[in-house]
Structure 1
Amino acid sequence: MKEIEVIINGDKLERVKRILSAFSKSGIFVTQGFGYGHQQGFHQVYTRDDNRGVNMLPKVSVRTVVPDELVDSIVDEMVADMGNATFGDGKIFVREIADAIRVRTNERGDSAL
């Protein structure tokens, strides 16, 4: 099992939900927060003001856990659908999950998803 975490701008949330629901019914967890990446929150606007500080941009983190065989398909679809080759397209993180337990039924592993 793998956890996929996608950090995006909020306007891409519906696209991420659509892609994930097409591949898996295991559910998602969405959190909102603020952050910045390589560009440190600056938009590509050129100005004479060098003292702009760091802008914390609103971001959405979407997490789900899926079987190993779905990870590459999901990641490829997200990159193809959401990538604009511009700053702020987002990041995708993939992590190994040792186990999952459904509390209600005590199912373990992929069947718990």
Structure 2
Amino acid sequence: MKEVIAVVRINMMNQTKQALSDAGVDAYFAREAQGRGKGFANPKVLEGVDNGYEEAAAVLGEKGKLYPKRVLTVVVEDDKVDDVVQAIIAPNKTGKPGDGKIFILPVADSVRVRTGESGEAAIV
């Protein structure tokens, strides 16, 4: 089993949910988050802010702010990971900074609380 964690634009959630549903994935978690990528600010300006220079903070302005995002967490069988990743990429890829990130992690086990099923039986 794998856990697929995706950070996407908040305004792309409906399209992302539809793409996941079309890929046969209806079970996932979604939560609100705020964040930013590394490419939005000049590192020298950030260094100035860290050193307490007010001018650097003024130059940084809006570029240092956190942006609203959605974080999706999907746990699927190993053979469905590529389908999930492609389903997330399709509606979110604009070619511009901020399109998001996808992380894939191994899952050791899972247990369905209601029935006590474990392993892949708990996620299908």
TM-score using structure 1 length: 0.83
1:58 CA drift (Å): 0.7
Larger Rg: 2
1:51 CA drift (Å): 3.5
RMSD over aligned Cα atoms: 2.1
Which amino acid is 1:50 matched to? V
Structure 2 portions without partners, runs of 5+:
43-57
Structural mapping, 1:30-109, within 5 Å:
30-40=30-40, 50-52=59-61, 54-109=64-119
Higher strand share: 1
Q: Deviations over 1:60-97 (max 9, x none)?
A: 10111011101012212332332111101011111100
1:46 aligns to what?
Answer: none
Higher helix share: 2
1:110 aligns to what?
Answer: 120
Runs of 4+ residues deviating >6 angstroms = none
Aligned length: 107
Which amino acid is 1:30 matched to? A
Structure 1 portions without partners, runs of 5+:
43-48
Give percent identity, aligned residues only.
Answer: 31
1:45 aligns to what?
Answer: none
